[in-house]
Amino acid sequence: MRSGGLKTILLFLSLGFLIIWFLEFRRTSLADSYWLLLLVMVCLFLYQFLNLKASERKSQAGEERTGQEVSKTASKRKSK
């Protein structure tokens, strides 16, 4: 699955768990509904992790492209 789709699913899961937690919190106490709040946090942390991982991949790909362009221009200069 693409990371964009996975990130969207994680955001909607966290939103759904937050709504369920709010309704459960009104019905019971914080101690009884704490596990739902933890699920919200896990989904948000995973979302943030995927964002950071994707930005690292993007920056590494940009560095590789820049390195390839530099090596091409260096090889052209050597051939002249």
- The pLDDT of 69-80, averaged and rounded, is 61
What residues does each domain of the chain span? 3-68
pLDDT digits (tens, 9 = 90+) for 2-57: 778 999 999 999 999 999 999 999 999 999 999 999 999 999 999 999 999 988 98
Global pTM? 0.71
State yes or no: pLDDT of 78 exceeds 80.
Answer: no
Q: Answer with the residue of higher pLDDT: 76 or 27.
A: 27
Q: Are 70 and 40 in contact (CB under 8 A)?
A: no
State yes or no: pLDDT of 1 exceeds 80.
Answer: no
